[in-house]
Every structure is written in C-alpha cells, then in structure tokens.
Amino acid sequence: MHLHILGICGTFMGGLALIARAAGHRVTGCDTAVYPPMSTQLAEQGIDLIEGYGSEQLALAPDLYVIGNVVTRGNPLMEAILDAGARYVSGPQWLGDNVLPGAHVLAVAGTHGKTTTSSMLAWILEAAGLRPNFLIGGVAHDLKVSARYDPAVRPFVIEADEYDTAFFDKRSKFVHYRPRTAILNNLEYDHADIFPDLAAIETQFHHLVRTIPERGRIVLPTGSAALDRVMARGCWSETVRFGAGGAWQAGPADADGAFEVLRHGQAIGTVRWTLGGEHNRLNALAALAAAEHAGVDPAEGVAALSRFGGVKRRMELRGTAGGVKVYDDFAHHPTAIETTLEGLRRQVGQARILAVLEPRSNTMKLGAMAARLPAALQGADRVFCFGARSGKHALGWNPDEVLAPLGERASSYDDLDALVAAVAQAAQPGDHVLVMSNGGFGGVHGKLLDALARRGAP
C-alpha cells in the first residue's frame, strides 16, 4: 500500500512513517520547515520528502493519505484531497487500526517527561532482551532512532500525547492506542490552544483510563491532585503508585546522581547514572513499574537504567567553546523549565547558568503560562528570551513586561543574531548556557558555539 503522509517531519508522524515503511508499505510525505533529527532519519530510510503542501501532490495517487495534526483546513493539498473524495485518516487512528492490535502497548502519558520516560522504558525492555517496538518523540542515545517496528514483536512502547488527533478528530491522540500498561506521569494545564482548562484535559485522561483492560496496569505518582480526580471518575485496572509513600520510591541522590530504588519498602538496587534532577528519578520509577508489568525483573531494570545514556535534546551538551558549555533542552512549559534548571544547578553547583529561552509552543505564544515564567527562571543567573514580534512564532505578550520581576538579570530580543551576540558577550569561562525550546530555534546552539569560539580566538 502507498501511504502519503502530510506533516511527515513532526516527531510523531515521522516515526509513524518509519514504522509504516518497516511494515512493508511504500511511504512518501510532505512538510515544511524540515530540520534534524527527523529529516535525517527519514532520508536514511529512503523515504521521499516533498517540500510544502502543493495540490499537485494529488497526482501521486496514493492508496491512503495519512494526516498529521499540523494540517488545517485551507491547506492546499488537504483541500484537494477533500474535493477529490480521496481516502484519508489521521496518523494516530492509522497506527491504532493497523499496527497496535495484538501488541502489548505500553503508553507513556503526562504533561512532562513523556519522551524521557518512554526512552527509559524502551531501553529497559531492550536490555532485558524483549526487543520492543517503539514510537517516541525523541531519539535516545542508546536506541539510536525514534521509532522501530518488527511485526513479530509484541511489546510496543509509545509516547502517548494528549494533544488533539487531527482537524477532523478532536479527541486526544492517546485514545487510539488502547494500552495494556499506561504511565500517567503527571498532569498540569497545557495546550491552551485546544483545551480551555485543566478539567478538559482531565476528561481526556479519563477517556484513556476507560480503554485500559482489567488485567492492565496504570502507573501514576502520589500527590497529584489532577490525576487523583481522573482516577476518582472510574478505574477498572490495577494501579501502582510511585514517589513518596508509593510502592516504588527513590532514595536521595548522592553527589554523582546515583540513587537507591525501593519497591514496597525493599531495596532492589542502585541506579548509577549521570542524569540529574528529582524529575528524572521519578521518571525512572515509572519506567521500572511499567517494565515489571511487561515481565522484566525489577533488579534487571535498575541495572539497565545504570547504562541509560539519556535522550537527545534533554540536557544534551552540544559543545564547549571559550570555556563555556552549551546545552540543548526541550523544556517549554514553566514546570519543565524550572525542573530543568534545578537539575543543572545540582550538577554545576555555584557556577553561573545563562538561560536562553524560546517560548515557541502554542501555549507559551498565547501567554497562558507567561506569568509563571519569572518564578520558573529564578534558578538562572541570566535570562535571554527570544520573542518574535511577527510571523508564525510571534508572541502574544511582551517578554520585557513579563520578565520584569527578574530585574537586570533578564533581557529579550526579537533578532536571533542580536541574541547570540548578547549571550556571547555576557558568557564567561566556566559558565553553562542552557538553551530551551521545543523547536529548532534557528540553529542557535551552533551559532552560540561559533560566537564563543571567535571571541576566544587570538
């Protein structure tokens, strides 16, 4: 079958393309603003990409058009598809109907940490010899790719996003996955462009819970009021709690980041890794509890996590120049920004942290979370905010006004080159520059490293 995928370079749709190719389908696709790592993965797999959404692509005459949620009415190709009466389906529904039936689906949902936790879970299963299939919104260093599929393999780890499915299907993506094991990592308000409030997101999580079988397992944290409300609306499956007071707990981290894992109060091993932050310890507990449901011995899971190398774009060191380290992180929600800064602070001690932020998500562009940014950024010594004044990624709020509580520590820019120059001028040897964005950010990481290198040259 020939599938033509609209929005193919998004992390989900790109991974779906790789899976469809592995399942034996001919795959082509189109998108705009293509950037690595997804474009690289697709090219390596020989998947033909077409720039843009021209209506002339209707001449490809595929058996089915698979539609990503970036596609809206008014898209020239989508309008041509509708006018021609051609067959089309959303990406999540195609996956749920054609790939996931019969699989042991392990879905990782939550506002934060989905990619990291999914990668941890897939790696634990991989280390246990289960060779899992997976579709994850990032690339773990150990797994090498964001998606993998072998029809003969039963475990399937999937990052379960609560964002809407498509312009013609406003349910959350994850309702199509029907997991046997589900991690509900946390739940906060997000996606202000599609959800009016937190209660609306809780309803979608309730719909997910309703699809989990009686012999399934739901893994969730202690102390989450939002998730407790979700569970109070109905639960028909086993529940396993992690965190303080839960069945799975983490001891305090030592100076090297190692921590002891306890299951029902019994120590089962120590995770020795370089990942920092309480959020990553909680992610690890959730992954261990889910892996246990797939048959992995907990002690074996702990040993696997000690060999876990992290995920690209999650506190990823991109390079060092002029004595300054530059990191890349996907954080774009105030809670994620705060925990990411806390994790880096624990690693670097009293060294200066320069936070470079692009509020690029729809929620942040709308300003629904803007008031929380000053508190979230308190852990940084300097803050540089990039806010476009016009175009697709223009902010609907004034960053100078919002960040005013940070005083002279914060400044904003609407020109990328000016921002790079300001950061390079402010940075000193021994500093740590943390870049946070859920997009490509105009290649700012490389530009910063180049500018720092030039500054340090004779």
Q: What pLDDT digit, counting tens, does each position of 251-302 carry?
A: 888 877 789 999 999 999 999 887 777 888 999 999 999 999 999 999 999 9
Sign of the CA dihedral running 174, 180, 184, 185: negative
Q: Which residues contact 338 (CB under 8 A, 6 or more apart)?
A: 375, 376, 377, 378, 379
223 and 352, same domain (yes or no) = no
Tokens found for residue 438: 């859920």
The pTM assigned to this predicted structure is 0.75
Q: Is 114 a known ligand-binding residue?
A: yes
pLDDT at residue 417, as a whole number: 87
Domain that includes residue 373, residue range: 316-456
pLDDT at residue 439, as a whole number: 67
β-pair type (181-184, 217-221): parallel
The structure tokens 């939002």 sit at 226
Phi-psi region of 102 (alpha: psi -120 to 50; beta: other; left: phi over 0): left
Q: Report percent pLDDT > 70 for the chain.
A: 92
DSSP 400-428: HHHTGGGGGGEEEES-HHHHHHHHHHH--
**Average pLDDT score over residue span 315-326:** 84
β-pair type (181-184, 104-109): parallel
Give the pLDDT band (50/70/90) at residue 363.
low
pLDDT at residue 376, as a whole number: 85
Rounded distance between C-alpha atoms, residue 366 and residue 386, angstroms: 15
The structure tokens 């340090």 sit at 456
pLDDT at residue 404, as a whole number: 84
Q: Is 335 a known ligand-binding residue?
A: no
The structure tokens 């946070």 sit at 436
Q: Is 239 a known ligand-binding residue?
A: no
Tokens found for residue 199: 């209660």
Helix (H) or strand (E) run with residue 270 in it? strand 266-271
pLDDT at residue 264, as a whole number: 94
Q: Which of 58, 91, 124 is the last residue of a domain?
A: 91
Q: Is 74 a known ligand-binding residue?
A: no
Tell me which residue of 112, 61, 83, 97 sits closest to 169, measured CA to CA: 97
Tell me which residue of 73, 92, 94, 93 sits closest to 83, measured CA to CA: 73
In a domain, 311, yes or no: no
pLDDT at residue 143, as a whole number: 78
Sign of the CA dihedral running 256, 314, 338, 111: negative
**Average pLDDT score over residue span 350-378:** 78
Q: Which amino acid is located at 449 in the chain?
A: L
38 and 17, same domain (yes or no) = yes
pLDDT at residue 362, as a whole number: 63
Q: Which residues contact 265 (CB under 8 A, 6 or more apart)?
A: 249
Q: How far separated are the first and last CA of the chain, in Å rounded?
A: 59
Q: Which amino acid is located at 408 in the chain?
A: E
- Segment 40-96, tens digit of pLDDT: 778 888 888 898 999 999 999 999 999 999 999 999 999 999 999 999 999 999 999
Q: Which of 306, 330, 351 is the last residue of a domain?
A: 306
Q: In what order do the strands lie in the sheet with 353-357?
A: 316-321, 324-329, 432-436, 353-357, 382-386, 410-413
**Average pLDDT score over residue span 183-211:** 88
Rounded distance between C-alpha atoms, residue 264 and residue 248, angstroms: 6
In a domain, 437, yes or no: yes
207 and 165, same domain (yes or no) = yes
Q: What's the number of domains the chain is made of? A: 3
- Segment 3-55, tens digit of pLDDT: 999 999 888 899 999 999 999 999 999 998 666 666 777 888 888 889 899 99
Q: Which of 284, 306, 328 is the last residue of a domain?
A: 306
166 and 141, same domain (yes or no) = yes
Q: Is 115 a known ligand-binding residue?
A: yes
Distances (CA, A) of 260 to 185, 246, 253, 266, 424: 20, 15, 8, 10, 40
Give the pLDDT band (50/70/90) at residue 456.
low
Q: What is the CATH number of the domain that holds 334?
A: 3.90.190.20
Give the pLDDT band (50/70/90) at residue 368.
low
Give the pLDDT band (50/70/90) at residue 458.
very low
Cβ contact 272:256 at 8 Å: yes
Q: What is the CATH number of the domain that holds 268?
A: 3.40.1190.10
Asked if pLDDT for residue 142 goes beyond 90, the answer is no
Rounded distance between C-alpha atoms, residue 101 and residue 351, angstroms: 51
Q: What is the CATH number of the domain that holds 29?
A: 3.40.50.720
